[in-house]
Amino acid sequence: MGEVICVFRILPKSPEMFDQVKEALEKLDPNRIEEEPIAFGLKAIKFTKIIPDVGGAQDKLENQIRSTEGVDNIETLKISRCL
């Protein structure tokens, strides 16, 4: 069984909630978390995590992110198997 790298772009419901959402996502133990400027002062969170390559693991992670308070939208940027 291998591992998969998942990269998501997460948008908070409002710019004021950015720091709150970022702190909550850090509790999910990401491998990397970055701020990504969008436009007009809006920022997204780029969230990278390595998870086991088993059925349902990606869905579980996406559901954890979606259920984080303040998350408005989540976009999958990349799913790649680790070597």
| Average per-residue pLDDT for the chain | 93
Query: Rounded to an integer, what distance in angstroms lies between the CA atom of residue 83 and that of residue 81?
Result: 7
Instruction: For each of the domains in the chain, give its residue range(s) and CATH number, in order of start.
Output: 3-81 (3.30.70.60)
Q: Where are the alpha helices (DSSP H) in 1-83?
A: 18-26, 57-66
* pTM score: 0.89
| Longest CA–CA separation in the chain, Å | 44
pLDDT tens for residues 22-80? Answer: 999 999 999 999 999 988 888 999 999 999 998 889 999 999 999 999 999 999 999 99
Cα 14 to chain centroid distance, Å, stands at: 16
Please report the pLDDT score of residue 21 as a whole number: 95
Instruction: Tell me if 47 sits within 8 A of 65, measured CB to CB.
Output: yes
Question: Residue with structure tokens 């997204």?
Answer: 44
pLDDT tens for residues 12-29? Answer: 999 999 999 999 999 999
Please report the pLDDT score of residue 68 as a whole number: 93
